[in-house]
Amino acid sequence: MFAGLDISAVTDLTPIDMTWDYLKRLRAIWPRKLVVKGIVTREDAELAVEHGVDGLIVSNHGGRAEDSGRASIDSLVEVAAAVRRRVPVLVDGGIRRGSDIFKALALGANAVAIGRPYIWGLASFGQEGVERVLDIMRAELLIAMRQAGTRSIFEINRSYVVDNRRG
């Protein structure tokens, strides 16, 4: 990726002082689509949209950053509400089956990212493994949709998810 570039003075590719000003500067020099990953709060979602992002990915980065944070799916509702469909919202993390896709769409995601399942398929069987993982997830999503009585993705909404957790 950095072939032919002198990066001898670069000490870190992710600045520790990443701020909204940094995003503003990035937006000013980057004329293409800009999607920000790692948004987990209403406040950050609103600020990201104000700073001109083209999309958000709700993600706790697999919990690697810290182990006391919420699951991505638990952050999705407040982020989607803050965005109010002004930009697409994706969710990354914990998507392992078609019913997880259904829940994410019901809670406000426009799309989901499936990191680990496709990697498992790739590691096991190459391209055919990835295709099989996608086929399985598609079939499971269709089963969840049929069980809920939805005929299209666009019919999936919040009313299909009940939160029984005790708060």
Residues assigned a catalytic role:
61
Q: Is 39 exposed, middle or buried (0-12, 13-18, 19+ CB in 10 A)?
A: buried
Q: Please check whether residue 103 is in contact with residue 72, taking contact to mean a CB–CB distance below 8 angstroms.
A: no
What is the rounded CA–CA span in Å between residue 138 and residue 55?
A: 24
- Tell me how far apart the 2 most distant CA atoms of the chain are, in Å: 58
Those residues with Cβ within 8 angstroms of residue 59's Cβ, 6 or more apart along the chain or in another chain: 37, 38, 39, 40, 72, 91, 92, 93, 113
Q: Please check whether residue 77 is in contact with residue 43, taking contact to mean a CB–CB distance below 8 angstroms.
A: no
